[in-house]
């Protein structure tokens, strides 16, 4: 079939005029030049990968407003409210910050125990993954390679995040306070004591 | 023989006095006995013995507890203290009548056994939030009790305090 393609390509051409007595006057110039190389044998080309990644499937027990126990990180053991699932697949979670010091944070659902307790959340402002992206460290050039810049690369919370946290807290905290004892529940940490086995417990 | 029968009541009336070894057994496998099925498909349910097949098997029926009339091994059942008058081999309709007449479900739920089972079931079905609330409730109660005890002990300690010698 390759020869057929080549011949079809060569047959479509422009009639171009050439000067000179012995050059034949006109000739067809192919629009597309034949390739310089082609394989001697026809080989199969692999099928094109048309896979589209599906969004991460969220556990049925996790729903916007459900209380969840964080299992890893500095906030391990804390009970926290799920706000929504972000486009990246991670859960957007907050203490609320006013109640237990957990800020707006992204968490993978595998590092979380979902409880059956749910909070009625009002309509929240739209939040995406963009505000959580950390800015990369500035790369040093050759001269500054060994100069110590007195470690000012520590992470500072942006004013935008602080404002957003206040806004979210103002919406979520009243919803939490509506339920009896829920605020003190979120303030407490989850622990296992003797005789308690997570696989036997109902959350 | 009348002395023994008077003490142990109805269920041993039929036994002649030479079976004195039976005196220590108070719960008998008999038609009308309410049993707790401990294992198998109908585990943790109660039913009434309807018929005794042989040494190892009984026919059991629990029309209001979801136990169909079926043959059950004696090793899978546990005898309760409840027993009612039921002719042996009675049909399910008769069992239903006896069950309703004697308010069996209510009598069972009154027993300590049933209350313990219910408590266990409630504890297992607690959510994480429920466990927290129970913890706070116990704390509050214990604190009240402690302050009361301390105040009581203060009065008692005063009573036994030795006078200071000058």
Question: pLDDT per residue over B19-67, tens digit each?
Answer: 677 778 889 999 999 999 999 999 999 999 999 999 999 999 999 999 9
Contact A89, A74 (CB under 8 A): no
Tens digit of each residue's pLDDT (9 = 90 or more) over B72-118? 999 999 999 999 999 999 999 999 999 999 999 999 999 999 999 99
Between positions 86 and 145 of B, the ones with CB within 8 A of A are 124-129, 132-133, 136
The minimal CB distance from B127 to the residues A184, A188, A202 is found for A202
C-alpha to C-alpha distance for B49 and A163, rounded to whole angstroms: 71
Chain A positions in Cβ-Cβ contact with residue B136 (cut-off 8 Å): 181, 184
Chain B positions in Cβ-Cβ contact with residue A181 (cut-off 8 Å): 129, 132-133, 136
B13 pLDDT higher than 70? no
Q: How far is B44 from chain A (nearest CA, A)?
A: 19
Task: Say what percent of chain A tops pLDDT 70.
Answer: 85
List residues of A whose CB lies inside 8 A of any B CB: 67, 69, 79, 115-117, 181-182, 184-185, 188, 190, 201-203
Q: A86, exposed or middle or buried, with CB in 10 Å at 0-12, 13-18, 19+?
A: middle
Cβ-defined contact of B125 to A188 (cutoff 8 Å)? no
Q: How far is B135 from chain A (nearest CA, A)?
A: 11
Q: What is the 3-state secondary structure of chain A?
A: CHHHHHHHHHHCEEEEECCCHHHCCEEEEECCCCCCCCCCCCCCCCCCCCCCCCCCCCCCCCCCCEEEEECCCCCCCEEEEEEEECCCCCEEEECCHHHHCCCCEEECHHHEEEEEEECCCCCCCCCCCHHHCCCCCCCCCCCCCCCCCCCCCCCCCCHHHHHHHHHHHHHHHHHHHHCCCHHHHHHCECCCCCCCCHHHCCC
B11 contact partners, CB below 8 Å, separation of at least 6: B28, B30, B83
Chain B positions in Cβ-Cβ contact with residue A182 (cut-off 8 Å): 129
The minimal CB distance from B133 to the residues A115, A181, A203 is found for A181
The minimal CB distance from A188 to the residues B124, B125, B132 is found for B132
More reliable by pLDDT, A144 or B132: B132
Contact A87, A109 (CB under 8 A): no
Q: How far is A198 from chain B (nearest CA, A)?
A: 11
Give the least confident one: A44-53, B92-101, B127-136: A44-53
Cβ-defined contact of A202 to B126 (cutoff 8 Å)? yes
Cβ-defined contact of B136 to A190 (cutoff 8 Å)? no
The secondary structure element, H or E, covering residue B49 is strand B45-52
With CA atoms as reference, the chain B residue closest to A186 would be: B129
For position B152, what pLDDT does the model report?
83
A33 contact partners, CB below 8 Å, separation of at least 6: none
Task: Say what percent of chain B tops pLDDT 90.
Answer: 72
How many CB atoms lie under 10 A from the CB of residue B105? 16
The secondary structure element, H or E, covering residue B104 is helix B104-110
C-alpha to C-alpha distance for B149 and B154, rounded to whole angstroms: 9
The minimal CB distance from B127 to the residues A116, A181, A184 is found for A116
As a whole number, mean pLDDT of residues A81-86 equals: 94
Cβ-defined contact of B129 to A117 (cutoff 8 Å)? yes
What's this model's pTM, rounded to 2 decimal places? 0.69
Q: How far is B118 from chain A (nearest CA, A)?
A: 16
């Amino acid at each position: 079939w390759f020869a057929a393609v080549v011949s079809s390509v060569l047959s479509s051409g422009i009639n171009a005029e050439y000067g000179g007595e012995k050059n034949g006057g006109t000739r067809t110039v192919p629009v597309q030049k034949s390739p310089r190389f082609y394989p001697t044998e026809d080989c199969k080309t692999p099928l094109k990968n048309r896979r589209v990644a599906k969004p991460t499937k969220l556990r049925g027990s996790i729903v916007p407003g459900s209380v969840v126990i964080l299992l890893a990180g500095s906030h391990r053991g804390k009970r926290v409210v799920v706000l929504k699932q972000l486009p990246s697949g991670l859960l957007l979670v907050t203490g609320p910050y006013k109640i237990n010091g957990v800020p707006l944070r992204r968490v993978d659902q595998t590092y979380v125990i979902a409880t059956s307790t749910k909070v009625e959340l009002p309509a929240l402002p739209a939040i995406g993954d963009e505000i959580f992206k950390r800015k990369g460290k500035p790369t040093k050039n050759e001269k500054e390679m060994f100069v110590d810049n007195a470690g000012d690369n520590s992470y500072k919370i942006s004013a935008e995040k602080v404002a957003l946290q206040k806004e979210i807290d103002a919406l979520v905290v009243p919803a939490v306070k509506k339920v009896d004892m829920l605020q003190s529940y979120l303030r407490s940490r989850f622990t296992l004591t003797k005789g308690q086995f997570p696989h036997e417990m109902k959350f | 023989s009348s002395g023994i029968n008077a003490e142990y009541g109805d269920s041993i009336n039929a036994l002649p006095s030479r079976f004195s070894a039976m005196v220590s057994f108070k719960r008998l496998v008999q038609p009308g006995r309410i049993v707790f099925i401990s294992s198998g498909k109908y585990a943790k349910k109660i039913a009434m013995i309807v018929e005794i097949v042989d040494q190892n098997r009984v026919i059991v029926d629990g029309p209001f507890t979801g136990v169909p009339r079926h043959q059950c091994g004696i090793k899978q059942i546990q005898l309760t203290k409840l027993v009612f008058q039921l002719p042996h081999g009675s049909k399910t309709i008769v069992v239903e009548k006896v069950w309703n007449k004697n308010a069996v479900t209510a009598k069972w739920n009154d027993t300590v056994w049933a209350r313990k089972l219910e408590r266990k079931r409630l504890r297992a079905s607690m959510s994480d939030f429920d466990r927290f609330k129970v913890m706070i409730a116990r704390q509050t109660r214990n604190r009240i009790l402690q302050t009361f005890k301390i105040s009581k002990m203060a009065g008692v300690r005063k009573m036994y305090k030795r006078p200071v010698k000058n």
